[in-house]
Structure 1
Amino acid sequence: MRRSTLAEWAGGVSLPGYRVASGGVSTLPPGKVSHDEGRHVHPDPEIFLILSGTGRLHLDGEESGFAAGDVLVVDPGEDHHLEAVTEVVTTWLHLEPVPLHPEPVP
C-alpha cells in the first residue's frame, strides 16, 4: 500500500499502465467496516481518496490510521478494509490495465 495526500496529486490521480474501470463515493458511519465479509482483494490496484473523516486501514492484518486528505493506493492482492472512527466519506477507484494495443473506435 502506498500513502500520500490529495495535495501531492494536484496534477491528477493516475497510475501509469492503468485506467479507471469503476468507482464511486461511499459513506461509512462510525464503527462500520467497508468490507466485513472476510478477505477482500483485487487483481488490480484500488485508490481511495479520503474526502472527510478519520479511520483505520486494515491491510494484510496490520492497522494504520487515515484522515481527510489522504490518498491510499492498495496494490493488487492486498487484503484491505476501511474502518470508520468518525463518519468517513471516500471516493474509491478500481483500476484495470491499459491494453497495449487498444481496439480502434469505429
Structure 2
Amino acid sequence: MKPVRELTSDMGNKFASSGDFVMAVKFFTDAIKYNPTEYKLFGNRSFCFEKMQEYAKALADAELSLSMCPGWVKGLFRKGRALAGLKVNGLMTSITQLMVCNCVNVRHPQWGR
C-alpha cells in the first residue's frame, strides 16, 4: 500500500485532471502537510489556483516551489502564468528566465492574454 503522502498527491492529480480544482487543492494541501519540501506539490497546487483564477495564491505557490528548486522550468512557467493573471510587470522577467533555459516559445497559445 502507498504511503498517505503519495495517496493524497495521486488524488490531487486525479481531481486536477478531471477539472475539479477545489478538491485537487484540498488533496495537494494535505499532501504538502505530509511532505512540505516536495516542490512539485506546490507547483501542482499553483496550477489549480491559476485555473480557479486565484492568481495571488498561484503566484505564492509558484514562488514557494522555486524557493525549493530554483530554476525549475515548470515553476517558472507557473509563476509567469500567475503574473499574467495578475497583470504584473514581473511577467517579462519570468518569460526571460524561461527563454534563457530555452524552454519556452513566447508565441505559444498558453502565454496568451
Q: Verify same fold: TM over 0.5.
A: no
**Greater relative contact order (CA < 8 Å, ≥ 6 in sequence):** 1
Where is the helix percentage greater, Structure 1 or Structure 2?
A: 2
Q: TM-score, normalised by structure 2?
A: 0.22
Where is the strand percentage greater, Structure 1 or Structure 2?
A: 1
Q: TM-score, normalised by structure 1?
A: 0.23
